[in-house]
Amino acid sequence: MRADEQRNGIESSNEIEHPQGFVCIITQELMEDPVIAPDGYSYEREAILRWMREHRNQSTMTRERMDPNRLVPNRNLKDAIEAHKAQIALQSLRVAGGREEVAATTSRNTYSSPKYSHVELMQKLQNDLSVRMQEVYIGTVVEQTLVGMAGVYTTQEGAMFRRDNESGHTWFNLKFATQQEYLKFIACYNTNFNGLIVDQGQFSEGFTKIAMNTEKLYEEASPKLGEFKGKAHDKVMEELANKLGVEYLEVYGGSAVEQRLVEKAGVATSQASSSYRMQENYTKKFNLRFVNNNEYNQFLNYYNQNFPGFILRASTYNAQPVGGQNFSSVVVDPNKLINQIATTLSNPTHAERVAEQAPQGRAI
């Protein structure tokens, strides 16, 4: 084999699955000049410097600020990579020489290339979720949507996903508040995407590591994640309009949901100008009006007692007017809103029952 052919064999070695520690987190390619950054991770020097210039010196892994002048050459890693490349070149020479025994050994000890590279997977997720690449790579939009589609709303701050270069699978580090949430997630994806989860790991109070089949993630799950993200809020509003028996515009632009929600708890304060919005973790945040703290506590107590788990978070009572209005914020579980609360809101409210029971004046 000529020297240039040997060099090409090494340069095209990205077709071979390298040890994970030899591959740059950013480029997903074998490192030539590895350096240790202040966050403790090793990167290709040029890649991490470019990343830091474009992202205000922020770490790709920890989101912490880093000093670009504190990159330390990782000489031990570089030596190990050079030895690895030499081994690849040696194997290429032996295969080219027609030594079948060596070729068979090579076949047994290397993994076949996955159908989609990690970059291709990220680009697919970016397109399907209609977000910027930065939100896929350094943000948590993928992880948040993944758990949200399973009805899990724990914030995924610090979660991440990476390619396992030995197996070709995609590993997710996800947050679950409870083991019940974790089991709910596993059940959802095992039921709807057979074979997607190849290693469900074990529940951990920090991050739980779950491996997914990259091909199925790319071809089957990613488009569904995009559909879910794009229609999540609209779907909730359509369901609410249907169950409340009102026009869609009364839910979208009016205050039909907010008014019935407070009246169900015996609060009659007008909810004109109140609102609800979808949060990044797919929960729903209501901004509601209460004339005093007693009304607000009455509202919270009613739903906490009768529908445990519906209210996920609640602000303190806001007595300070904002634009002439004072709103208190309540974050709720959208599944419970649709499947439990909406049905009861279509029934007579507390105020309506009181009105029905009040003595009627005689017609004159």
Lowest mean pLDDT among 222-226, 229-233, 360-364: 360-364
Q: Would you place residue 363 in the very low, low, confident or very high pLDDT band (cuts 50, 70, 90)?
A: very low
- Listing DSSP states for 296-321 in one string gives HHHHHHHHHHHSTTSEEEEPPP--S-
Same domain? For 156 and 212 the reply is yes
Q: Would you place residue 289 in the very low, low, confident or very high pLDDT band (cuts 50, 70, 90)?
A: very high
Q: Tell me, yes or no, whether 14 lies in a domain.
A: no
Checking if the pLDDT of 13 tops 50, the result is no
Same domain? For 134 and 182 the reply is yes
Mean of the per-residue pLDDT values of the chain:
83
Same domain? For 226 and 253 the reply is no
Q: Would you place residue 346 in the very low, low, confident or very high pLDDT band (cuts 50, 70, 90)?
A: confident
Question: In the chain, how many domains are there?
Answer: 3
Give the phi and the psi of residue 331 in degrees, each rounded to 5.
-100, 130
| Comparison of pLDDT for 112 and 156, the residue scoring more | 156
Beta strands at 160-163 and 170-174: parallel, antiparallel or unpaired: antiparallel
Q: Tell me, yes or no, whether 240 lies in a domain.
A: no
Same domain? For 221 and 265 the reply is no
The count of other CB atoms within 10 Å of the CB of residue 229 is 21
Checking if the pLDDT of 249 tops 50, the result is yes
> What is the per-residue pLDDT for 312?
92
> What is the per-residue pLDDT for 243?
87
Taking the CA atoms of 272, 153, 224 and 113 in sequence, report the sign of the dihedral they define: positive
- Single out the residue of 188, 121, 194 nearest to residue 148, CA to CA: 188
Give the bridge partners for 331, in sequence order.
285, 313
Residue 278's domain comprises 245-344
Taking the CA atoms of 329, 334, 340 and 344 in sequence, report the sign of the dihedral they define: positive
Checking if the pLDDT of 222 tops 80, the result is yes
Q: What is the CATH number of the domain that holds 46?
A: 3.30.40.10
The count of other CB atoms within 10 Å of the CB of residue 28 is 16
Q: Tell me, yes or no, whether 12 lies in a domain.
A: no
Q: Tell me, yes or no, whether 360 lies in a domain.
A: no
Share of the chain above pLDDT 90, in %: 46
Whole-model pTM: value is 0.56
Same domain? For 138 and 63 the reply is no
Same domain? For 253 and 278 the reply is yes
Same domain? For 223 and 163 the reply is yes
- For 188-219, write each residue's pLDDT tens digit: 999 999 999 999 999 998 999 999 999 999 99
Query: Residue 81 in contact with residue 156, Cβ under 8 Å?
Result: no
Same domain? For 178 and 259 the reply is no
- Single out the residue of 10, 309, 27, 19 nearest to residue 151, CA to CA: 309
Domain stops at, among 191, 207, 230: 230
For 332, the 3-state DSSP assignment is strand
> What is the per-residue pLDDT for 339?
82
Q: Tell me, yes or no, whether 99 lies in a domain.
A: no
